[in-house]
Amino acid sequence: MTTLTDAAPRFVVDALRGERASRPAVDTTSAPGLRSILEDGVFDVMGAARPEAPIVIRASSLRQLAPSTDISLSPHGRVRGILVNQVLRLLSVGTSVNNPFDDALKAWRLESGTNELLAYVDQLNGDELARLETDVTAHSITLIRSLGPVPSRWLPRSSVRAVQQLSGGAVVLRDVIDLMVGTTVGDVASVALFDVTTSPLSESSERTMRYHALVQTLRTGIVPLRTTTFSTATGEMWSLDVDSELLMRSAREVLATLEREWTAP
C-alpha cells in the first residue's frame, strides 16, 4: 500500500514513521514462511546442482530485470551515489554539512581507505572534478533541505548491512540500507527503512524498496513498518507500508532474478 498523507510533510523524516497510534502490531510470524518459500524456490530453480561460487543477489540485481542503460551505474554515477550516502550518514548523527562534496569525500576516504572508485576520483582532471563536485552538491542540497533533523531517540543507524544465505550458502542475498530508524524491540512495528537514490524514481525503485523490507525481515525475523525511498534528483519520496503481500512479491522477484542469473550463459 502506498501511503498518502493529507498534507505534504515538511520534512522526509516526518513521514518516515507516521503516528504511533496507527502502527500495526509487530509481525514475528512471517519471516519463517518467507524463508521456506525462498528455499523451495531456490530448489525449483537450481535443483540439486550447486554453483562453483555463490550466486549473490543485491538490490542492484533486481534493478536490471529489463535490459537498459543505467547511468547511475557509471563510475561518475556510483561515486555520486556513495558521496550523497555519506552526506546522509553525517546528517543522521547531527553533523552539520557545510561543504557536501569535501565533507563526504573525507568521510568516504576514512571509511574505505583506497579502492577503485577513489582512484577514479583521484585521476579526474580539474573540469571533471568540478562537474562531479557540482553534481554531488546539487543532490546533497536537495537531501539536506528535505531530510529534516533525525531524533536520536529514533535510534538512527546508517549503512546497515545484511547478508542472508539460502540453500546452504549457494545463494546469498546482500543488502545495505542507507538509514534505518525505530526499534525491533516492542509490541508495535516501528522500524522504517530509508533509501536514498540519485536517480529519478521508477518501477525498479519499488523493487528495491521491497527487497530492503524482505532482507530486513529475514535478518531480524521482524517485519518492518515501512520502506521508503527518496530521490535527490527529483526531490520525490515514495513510501510503502510493509505487509505480507509486499514481502511475497519481493520473494518472487528475488527468485525471478535468481532464475535469470542461473540460466544466463
Partner 1 sequence: MSTLVHRRHTRRELNELVASAPQTEVTLNDDHRRSLSARFRAVAGNDHRRLDAWSVEQAGKTGHDFRWSPSTARRVLGGGALRRTRAAPTLSIGEAVSDEITDQLLRAASGYARHGSLGYWLASATVPELGLITAEALNWATQIFEIGAGLESEWQVAPSDAYYDVARARTTLRGRRDLMIEGPEHRVIIRVRAGLPGKSAGPGLRSDLTIDTLAHPSGLAPSRFIGVWPEAGVILGVDATMADLRSGARDLVRTAVAQQRFRAFPFGKQIR
Q: What is the nearest approach in angstroms of partner 1 to the Cβ of residue 190?
A: 12
Cβ 59 to partner 1, closest distance in Å? Answer: 15
Closest CA to 174 of 214, 118, 229: 214
Cell 546528517 -> residue: 91
In this structure, the strands spanning 171-181 and 157-166 are antiparallel
Task: Tell me the closest approach of the beta carbon of residue 6 to partner 1, in angstroms.
Answer: 30
Q: How far apart are CA 36 and CA 94, in angstroms?
A: 41
> To the nearest whole angstrom, how small is the minimum distance from the Cβ of residue 32 to partner 1?
8
- Do 80 and 198 touch, CB atoms closer than 8 A? yes
Q: Which is nearer to partner 1, 58 or 238 (CB)?
A: 58
Write down the least CB distance from residue 242 to partner 1, Å: 17
Residue 238: φ, ψ to 5°: -115, 140
Residue 107 or 170: the one with the smaller Cβ distance to partner 1 is: 107
Closest separation in Å from C-beta 166 to partner 1: 12
Residue among 103 and 206 whose Cβ is closer to partner 1: 103
Of the pair 74, 165, the CB lying nearest partner 1 is at 165
- Select 64 or 152, whichever has its Cβ closest to partner 1: 152
- Decide: helix, strand or coil at residue 239: strand
Running DSSP on this structure, what letter comes out for residue 188? B
**Residue whose CB is less far from partner 1, 96 or 123:** 96
Q: Is 55:170 a contact under the CB 8 Å cutoff?
A: yes
CA distance 127 to 133: 10
Measure the CA–CA gap between 144 and 232, rounded to whole angstroms: 10
Residues that bind partner 1 (CB under 8 A): 28, 31, 86, 89-90, 92-97, 102-104, 106-107, 110-111, 113, 152-153, 155-165, 183-185, 218-222
